[in-house]
Structure 1
Amino acid sequence: MNTEQLQLVWQSAVSALPTLLAATPVTLGFALGAMLLGLPLGFAVALARLSRFGPLRSVSSVFVSFIRGTPLLVQIFVIYYGLPSLGVSLSPVAGGVIALTLNAAAYLSETIRAAILSIPKGQHEAATSLGLSGSQTMRLVILPQAARVALPSLSNTLIGLVKDTSLVSVITVVELLRSAQLVIARTFEPFGPYLAAALIYWVISSLLELVQRALERRFSRGVAVV
């Protein structure tokens, strides 16, 4: 690549930045929305998988296995293009959020379940000896410790969601990647816009990693145990 080509790439990347930055909040909104919705759903699925009630445990296990065993892109197609055949039509935004939320919930449930199981059984026994109920034990003793264990994986899931939002571009959601494609359709110069989009994804992921490390340092000071 000669100097003239490098200059052309640089100019196309810079000219694409305003459009890409305008779409960045959409990408962040999808990622944060899926995380905020997926976290309580994932917690519920984790508790279902830990339940002593067999049918509930089986249904939740099948859900996790199906979501983790199929590509997110296929899940988006099933929800956005498949559901209308059953009489359920969704907007691109709703379809994208639902697909990302269900996907995140399945992975988050495994993280939460593993974190809960990592807490020594003695913590449960000590809480019981102090007269705490099952729900109090979970809320006051187990979850604070499990949160510290799960934090790195939870943060990684959010970073992964930021990148996974690029897949909703296939259902015409104008997020970061789709914006780059629209710029390319006007300029016929793909390298610069795609490179600019990649750099924005990288910056977002790097900032989230900094937040993750700060939270890990705070949690590393320890949480109270019984």
Structure 2
Amino acid sequence: MSFDYIRTILMPMLEGAQMTVLLFVICIVLSIPLGFILTLAVRSSIKPFAWLAQTYIYVMRGTPLLLQLLLICFGLPMIPVIGEYLVFDRFVAACIGFILNYAAYFAEIFRGGLLAIDKGQYEAAKVLGFNKWQTTTRIILPQMFRIALPAVANESITLVKDTALLYAVAVPELLHFAQTAVNRDFTIVPFFVAGVIYLVMTLILSAFFKWIEKRYTFQ
């Protein structure tokens, strides 16, 4: 295939990549705080909250993301009586699905980070006169995020690749334009171009997280 052909298919595929990046940013910005809230709920002394949060995490991590997306996009509108109020734009529905799913994974990552902190840290903070809020914000959370950072980075890279599932709910993203070009031109070149774009995105993200990890390491 000529370079002219690649240039022809590249522009619409880059437009699709914008949708991929937009979903990624929205999901990261909203799912990480939600995941931390879920972590606090699981560790709550109020048993019903802890049980509900744990059940939510188990269900979201135990069922396929694709199934969850299909349920939100096509299943919720079929619910009797309230279904008509649960009809969302496809992209909005996909964002909801990704946020709810990834929040559960981030919750487990943060929980693991908290469990990895030595209990002596809490005792030392108490001896030094820190109250519970100061202990949490100044001592525990910084250590938790440092411990959880590699896992957060891996999950974020997985999110970039999972955005390809938008194709299944008819959101015009990168893979959609690649598949359209393949069907139209009877060549697999668009798939290779899409693969390169995904690799570039994950490479940039990996470099960003490595920079953050180095900065935390030397602090």
What TM-score does the superposition give when structure 2 sets the normalisation length?
0.93
Of 35, 48, 57, the residue aligned with 1:55 is 48
User: Which amino acid is 2:174 matched to?
Assistant: L
Instruction: Show the counterpart of 2:111.
Output: 113
| Cα distance in 2, alignment partners of residues 13 and 118 from structure 1 | 49
Is 1:203 the counterpart of 2:200? The answer is: yes
- After superposing on structure 2, the runs of 4+ consecutive aligned residues of structure 1 that deviate more than 6 Å are none
Match of 1:19 in 2: 12
1:219 aligned residue (213, 216, 219): 216
- Cα distance in structure 1, aligned partners of 2:146 and 2:7: 41
Deviations 1:198-223 (A, max 9, x none): 1100111011111111111111114x
Which blocks of at least 5 consecutive residues in structure 2 are unaligned? none
Among residues 58, 69, 72, which one is paired with 2:65 in the alignment?
A: 72
2:164 aligned residue = 166
2:181 match: secondary structure? helix
Within 5 A, what are the aligned runs for 1:114-193?
114-189=112-187, 191-193=188-190
Partner AA of 1:202 in structure 2: L
Task: Please give the alpha-carbon distance, in whole angstroms, between the structure 1 residues aligned to 2:4 and 2:55.
Answer: 50
Measured against aligned partners, the alpha-carbon deviations of 1:128-180 in whole angstroms (never above 9, x if no partner) come to: 22332222211111001111111111111111111111101111111111111
Q: Equivalent residues in 2 for 1:91-102 (5 A)?
A: 91-102=89-100
Give the TM-score, by structure 1 length.
Answer: 0.90
How many residue pairs are counted as aligned between the two chains? Answer: 214
For 2:182 and 2:133, how far apart are their aligned partners in 1?
Answer: 55
Q: 2:27 aligns with which of 34, 46, 56?
A: 34
SS at structure 2 position matched to 1:212: helix
Asked if structure 2 preserves the Cα contact closer than 8 Å seen for 1:12 and 1:193, the reply is no
Residue 106 of structure 2 aligns to a residue whose secondary structure is helix
SS of match in other structure, 1:120: coil
CA distance in 1, matches of 2:154, 2:29: 14
Cα RMSD for the two superposed structures: 1.4
- State the alpha-carbon separation in 2 of the partners of residues 200 and 48 from structure 1: 38
Q: Retained in 2: the 8 A contact 1:11–1:192? A: no
Query: What is the deviation of 1:14?
Result: 4.0
Report the residue type matching 1:79 in the other structure: I
Q: After TM superposition, give the deviation of residue 54 of structure 1 in Å.
A: 1.3
Which amino acid is the alignment partner of residue 197 of structure 2? I
In the alignment, the residues of structure 1 paired with residue 121 and residue 162 of structure 2 have an alpha-carbon distance, to the nearest angstrom, of: 37
Please tell me whether the aligned partners of residues 37 and 101 of structure 1 are also in contact (alpha carbons under 8 angstroms).
yes
Q: Which amino acid aligns with 2:208?
A: V
**Overall identity of the aligned pairs, in %:** 36
Output the amino acid matched with 2:139. Answer: V
1:3 aligned partner: none
